[in-house]
Amino acid sequence: MGKPRIMDKLKITGGKELNGEVIISGAKNAALPILAGSILSSAPVTLNNIPQLNDVATMLTLLQSMGAEVIFDEKMDLRLNAKEIEKYFAPYDLVKTMRASILVLGPLLSRFGRAEVSLPGGCAIGARPVNLHVKGLRAMGAKISIKNGYIYATAKKLQGTNYRFDEVSVTGTENIMMAAVLAKGKTVITNAAMEPEVKDLAQFLKSMGANIEGEGTSQIVVDGVDRLRETNYRIMPDRIESGTYLIAAAITGGKILLKKTAPQYLKTVISKLQLSGANIKCGDDWISLDMHNKKLKAVDFETSPYPGFPTDMQAQFCALNSISSGSARMKETIFENRFQHVIELHRMGADIEIKGNIATSKGVRRLTAAPVMATDLRASAGLIIAALAAHGDTIIDRIYHIDRGYERIEEKLQQLGAHISRETS
Ligand code: EPZ
């Protein structure tokens, strides 16, 4: 984790089969809300399996700027102490680099009754509004005004309420659930996000004494408590990193074993990969994939909230379909602008047509290397996957996007036999 190096590029020589084992890191989208949730407790918190990612570094910088103590021990376990937090401010220059900073809003309001958090603003994949977060906090009695790009929120004491999300929102559900932990009375959240990362956050909060039921279903019930105790908690494995490596092996016709992963959270991706011709076996914490030299078949999919096909796997599967035989219909229902990677895949020879929120691919025999540009985190993963199978040397620009969400990606891919290197200019 370090300062994102804006000019870094990745160079990938395609055509090498990926074979071998890879250890999956802790989930970025569980670590970020759990780090924000540590604000709720004045007792020390120890977290294991924290992924070493730029987004995690940004969240830790934000917590430290508020006064939290942050120490990595020799085992890379993270010791956090939010006892001394005395600032409730999340500045634009931090929030604009990592939208998930909005997750400090609920915990700050719940424990301290005040918060001043920059609006995250949009990103490449969409406008990314936070109106449903604000609406829920207002329903709990928070006084919220939005001006000059900031959310100014105060609350004498948040009150439990019944809140139904107009649209399923992962971080929206997480923010309201965290706000409810120290609120007065009961909060019932309906149309809640059921993502495993929401469940992991709830289990972290319960390990500190929070009173939560129903996590992982569309109805979450929280009974407010007065304070939380210390905890030692292990972050769940990253299901999107897992899916990304499975597809990287599949597109190169290889054989891979993922370790320290959680197959139960990847069911839709695994079943789609089996339809594409991959032979997949699963154990408690491992997944193996073997293409057995079978030809890839194109597979239709439609993204939807969990347990549906994850939008965060759309770009990766799109790359796979681009060289799979036949045609595939790929529908993106979550974000309004999440096909940016397709424009770059066209440069590599992909035959994909976009009409509204549907991309239709016609498999080509082979992609060819080209200079391409990463536009967002998962689009970058899609381009890396395409480059691994393309003929020639692909140069991917703006790879600071990839460093936000994939721990040591070149190293893990090199260990699997990929010809990949980082060029720092
Ligand atoms: C989370 O983003 C993830 N980020 C995203 O992963 C993921 O793509 C997304 O959930 C969907 O699964 C983290 O968990 C840190 P949403 P989030 O609120 O919570 C609309 C990655 O690559 N909406 O579930 O921001 C929104 O515009 C990232 O790791 C509102 O209209 O997504 C979208 O269309 C990318 N108003 C839909 O809901 C709101 O107040 C779902 O968004 C909130 C959301």
pLDDT one-digit tens code per residue, 299-334: 999 999 999 999 999 999 999 999 999 999 999 999
Q: Whose CA is nearest to atom 10 of ligand 1?
A: 170
pLDDT score recorded for residue 53: 96
> Which residue of 28, 55, 169 sits with most ligand 1 atoms within 8 Å of its CB, as the best mutation to test the pocket?
169
Indicate whether residue 122 lines ligand 1 (CB < 6 A): no
Hey, is 200 helix, strand or coil?
A: helix
pLDDT score recorded for residue 1: 61
Output the CA 335–ligand 1 centroid distance in Å: 8
Indicate whether residue 378 lines ligand 1 (CB < 6 A): yes
Indicate whether residue 101 lines ligand 1 (CB < 6 A): no
Across the chain, which has 425 residues, the per-10-residue mean pLDDT values are 75 97 98 98 97 96 97 94 96 93 98 97 88 98 97 98 98 98 98 98 98 98 97 98 98 98 98 98 98 95 98 98 98 96 97 98 97 95 98 95 94 97 87
CA 155 remoteness from chain centre = 30
Cα separation, 410 vs 416, whole angstroms: 10
Output the CA 194–ligand 1 centroid distance in Å: 13
pLDDT score recorded for residue 38: 98
Q: Which of 134, 193, 135 is nearest to 169 (CA)?
A: 193
Q: Considering the entire predicted model, what is its pTM?
A: 0.97
Output the CA 124–ligand 1 centroid distance in Å: 13
Question: Is 174 in contact with 198 (CB distance < 8 Å)?
Answer: yes
Active site (annotated) includes residue 318 = no
Cα separation, 171 vs 186, whole angstroms: 20
Q: Using H for helix, E for strand and C for coil, what is the string for 84-148? A: CCCCCEECHHHHCCCHHHHHHHHHHHHHHCEEEEECCCCECCECCCCHHHHHHHHHCCCEEEEEC
Structure token pair of residue 136: 């829920």
Indicate whether residue 132 lines ligand 1 (CB < 6 A): yes
